[in-house]
Amino acid sequence: MDNDVIARLLKEMIVAVVRLQSENDGLPVARALMKGGVRVIEMTLTTPGATELIKTVREELPSALVGAGSVLSRKDVDRCIDAGAEFLVSPILDEDVMQYALSKGIPFSPGTFTPTEAYNAWKLGAGLVKVFPAARLGPKLLSDLKAPMPFLRLMPTGGISADTINEFLMAGADVVGAGSWLIEKSAVAAKEFGRITDRAAQLRERADQFAAKVGR
């Protein structure tokens, strides 16, 4: 596992979860996110041409950290690595897929819903454990998980906005995954990418303020 990538994720604190209807919107969205200070981009495999977008974004925006989401199989792992993905994220915990990814030396964050799943993900080698769907589970789950298992590094995904990010960070989130609020469908459809930049900047400001407050 690439510890430098995990360290970068922990430093950046925000992962933009990019799920689009058209491959053509991928690079403009990535540029808008970067302009707003969100420098970690998770390109979900449900986006058309996702692996090509990973290549393109890495080439065009070399300072971004680019990974792949919705990774469900060994085949997904291989094609994402071939595309240049620097980390992988899944909505589920599949031991075989996770161990396969880690054997390739790439960080893998599996999705977990229960304390047992979160612990098993950590035991299998997850440097960052995804908690999903965070909107339904709520911030308190994070503090409940970390009370008996403070060694967990958690990435709640779902329901992250400028209004909720502080709650999740204060409850114990090490990183947050922001998707539908950050990359609003109507903004993408209207090609109003500045709206994405504005929301990225809001999240960046709140994350930086939190980091300064707690000395991260």
- Specify the 3-state DSSP secondary structure of 25: helix
d(CA 213, CA 202): 17
Farthest-apart Cα atoms in the chain, separation: 46
Please state the separation of Cα 174 from the chain's center in Å: 11
Establish whether 130 is a catalytic residue.
yes
Establish whether 42 is a catalytic residue.
yes
Q: Which of 147, 160, 101 is nearest to 127 (CA)?
A: 101
Strands 14-18 and 40-44: parallel
d(CA 201, CA 168): 18
Given the residues 12, 42, 140, 167, the one annotated as active site:
42
Given the residues 130, 184, 191, 213, the one annotated as active site:
130
Q: What positions carry a catalytic annotation? A: 42, 130
